[in-house]
Amino acid sequence: ILKVTKKRIKYEENKEGILLIVSDITIIKKLEKMRSDFVANVSHELKTPLTSIKGFVETLRDGAIEDKDVAMKFLNIIEVEVERLVRLINDLLYLSEIENAKIEINEEEEEEVNIKDVVDECVQLLKLKAESKDIKIHLDVDSELKIKMYRDWLKQLFINLIDNAIIYNKEGGEVFIIVEKSADKILIKVKDTGIGIPQNEIDRIFERFYRVDKGRSRKVGGTGLGLSIVKHIVELYNGKIYVNSEVGKGSEFTIVI
Ligand code: ADP
């Protein structure tokens, strides 16, 4: 995208001419578009649960409150929607925190974190969710490995990956978490036996709010921000993330950091 600016100028004593300034504004336009798409997406994501909450509140007020069973059902839906809003706002705050950190990362505040401790904590948090789908989580994590990183971010990274490995898995499926040292890098793998991701969508799943199946993601309470948060964290530490996936068989997320 080019921008052309015209200016009338005087040169060489009394000669007059027109100066054309041509600038390449592709990146500026791209950033502007990304920003406005982001605002549109956030507004849409906020509006959907709010519209639903408003609808149920109105129906309750218009009489549904008289029927205790119906009222209870509606209140439960309202609660689920409120929880989704809270999750969305937390994820948004998280993303902006990580993005700001890109400019200013305070190495002194970082600690040497034992990775196995963090993984154990995350698995504990997600245990009930896995059990409810009869999913087994297998760990192969070197208990000595340490990494210099904000503990909260490492935890968030694992939670998002393991959570997805459970959500997009089948009943009775499996999740494998592998952490090992490879040369001077740390290799993290989270693998599942779930629904997989179509090849042509793999590049897009790290985009904010991108979901392969919007309906499914919403139904399970996804915000569409999880992987974008993971990618930001990995890149902040000059790491790389790769995905291998086959529809119907499962997905494998590999991080080298
Ligand atoms: P969401 O909140 O929708 O899970 P994410 O950013 O975590 O958002 O993931 C983006 C999309 O990538 C998901 O909606 C899903 O379609 C796909 N996805 C992520 N992880 C997996 C996985 N382990 N298996 C299959 N699909 C996945």
pLDDT top residue among 50 and 213: 50
Q: How far apart are CA 173 and CA 191, in angstroms?
A: 11
Q: Please, which pLDDT band fits residue 81 given cuts at 50, 70 and 90?
A: very high
Q: d(Cα 20, Cα 1) in Å, to the nearest integer? A: 16
Report residue 119's pLDDT band, with 50, 70 and 90 as the boundaries.
Answer: very high
Task: Give residue ranges with CB within 6 A of ligand 1.
Answer: 160, 164-165, 168, 192, 194-197, 205, 210-213, 217, 222-228, 251
**ipTM here:** 0.98
Q: Whose CA is nearest to atom 14 of ligand 1?
A: 211
pTM of the model: 0.84
Q: Determine the average pLDDT of the residues in 85-114.
A: 83
| 245, 202 Cβ separation under 8 angstroms | yes
- Lowest mean pLDDT: which of 37-46, 73-82, 139-148, 161-170? 37-46
Among 158, 197, 228, the mutation site with the greatest number of ligand 1 atoms within 8 A of its Cβ is 197
- With tokens 């009869």, the residue in question is 134
| pLDDT above 90 for 123 | yes
Q: Which are the contacts of 212, defined by CB distance < 8 A and separation ≥ 6?
A: 197, 198, 201, 205
The Cα–Cα gap between 249 and 196 comes to: 6
**Which pLDDT does position 105 carry in this prediction?**
67
Non-local CB neighbours of 149 within 8 Å, separated by 6+ positions:
110, 113, 237
In ligand 1, the atom with minimum distance to the C-alpha of 160 is 7
Atom of ligand 1 nearest to the CA of 222: 2
Q: How far apart are CA 179 and CA 138, in angstroms?
A: 12
Query: What is the phi/psi pair of residue 227, to 5°?
Result: -70, -30
190 CA distance to ligand 1 middle (Å): 13
Is the per-residue pLDDT at 82 higher than 70? yes
Higher pLDDT, 132 or 221: 132
Counting from 1 in the atom list of ligand 1, the atom nearest the Cα of 214 is 14
11 CA → ligand 1 middle, Å: 61
**Per-residue pLDDT tens over the stretch 7-39:** 999 988 889 999 999 999 999 998 898 888 888
- The secondary structure of the chain in percent helix, strand, coil, rounded to multiples of 5, reads 50, 25, 25
- The rounded Å distance from CA 205 to ligand 1 centre is 7
- What digits encode the pLDDT tens for the residues 181-191? 988 999 999 99
Mean pLDDT of 76-84: 94
Nearest-CA residue for atom 12 of ligand 1: 205
Contact 6, 22 (CB under 8 A): no
Percent of the chain with pLDDT over 70: 97
Query: How far is residue 36's CA from residue 42's CA, in Å, rounded to a whole number?
Result: 10
Cα–Cα distance, 81 to 78 (Å, whole number): 5
Give the atom of ligand 1 at the shortest distance from the alpha carbon of 228. Answer: 6
Q: Is the pLDDT of residue 104 over 70?
A: no
pLDDT of residue 91: 92
- What confidence category does residue 217 fall into, taking pLDDT thresholds of 50, 70 and 90? confident
C-alpha 163 to ligand 1 mean position (Å): 9
> What is the rounded distance in angstroms from the CA atom of residue 169 to the CA atom of residue 195?
6
pLDDT at 102 over 80: no
